[in-house]
Amino acid sequence: MTKNRSVIFFDIDGTLLDSNKKLPNSTKEAVFKLKEQGHVVAIATGRAPFMFENLRRELGIDTYVSYNGQYVVLNGKVLYKNPLRTDAVEKLTEAALSHHYPVAYMDHKDMKTNIPEHPYVKESINTLKIDRYPSLDPEYYVGRELYQALLFCPEGEEKQYEMAFPEFDFVRWHPVSVDVLPKGGSKAKGIEKIIEKLGFPEERQYAFGDGLNDMQMLSTIHNSVAMGNAEEKVKSVAKYVTKSVDHDGIQHGLKMMGLI
């Protein structure tokens, strides 16, 4: 490794992808410029691997932290897995059903729901603008490793689940949907696994993000950059703030950091 090489982690929604879930040309050009210069470019997202396969292919990226740190891949090979406890998922499902709330089960290949049709599922999943919609399989959690679940409920309702299920972290990403993750799991921990393998010193580590699930990553990585479209509390934990994703924020940020 030369001393000028760095590793750069990018969130997807609101960071690599703009408000219309499109990849700006300036971002694509900037990422390829990073790669041409020998830097390691990686993704750190709350999305499942199958939700950004096309983006990985378009950008030529094969190192990523998915499911907010629960499923980590380095150079196309699985490096780290942190699945949910199956017995706790079953109990969470029972609790959700008692309030007529759906649950989605997610592994590295697919996602399934336990209720055939529900407006909360449609409303939240459609905002991701992906070509994969969860099909029905109420027992998908049985006999397989799940890295995340989705609990579909209105804002504030997750509090009762937080109290009842201390083995999970609940992170809201939509007014009617909450990510359910293993307790203590985060993008920062997934990134740590990659850093341990690659050996980059902290001054050669960079991260770009905009969401609440990026806060630990941005507060941990030495050179952290919040997008201009991020909430103020996200910006407050980052060392730097770039322009909005809709105004060439990635390209601007990378130039600001002297990487391109």
33-47 confidence digits (pLDDT tens): 999 999 999 999 999
Report, in angstroms and rounded to the nearest whole number, the Rg of the chain calculated over CA atoms: 18
- pTM equals 0.89
Tell me the domains of the chain and their CATH numbers: 7-81+185-256 (3.40.50.1000), 86-182 (3.30.1240.10)
What pLDDT, on the 0 to 100 scale, is given for residue 173?
Answer: 85
Q: Give the tokens for residue 161.
A: 């689940």
d(CA 28, CA 42): 13
d(CA 209, CA 68): 12
Catalytic annotation, residues: 11
What pLDDT, on the 0 to 100 scale, is given for residue 3?
Answer: 63
State the Cα torsion 89-182-13-31 to the nearest 10°.
Answer: -130
Mean pLDDT of 244-249: 98
Q: Examine the pLDDT at 1 and tell me if it is beyond 50.
A: no
pLDDT in tens, 192-231: 999 999 999 999 999 999 998 899 999 999 999 999 999 9
Burial of 3 (0-12, 13-18, 19+ CB in 10 A): exposed
According to DSSP, the residues that pair with 168 across neighbouring strands are 182
In the block, residue with structure tokens 């009617």: 176
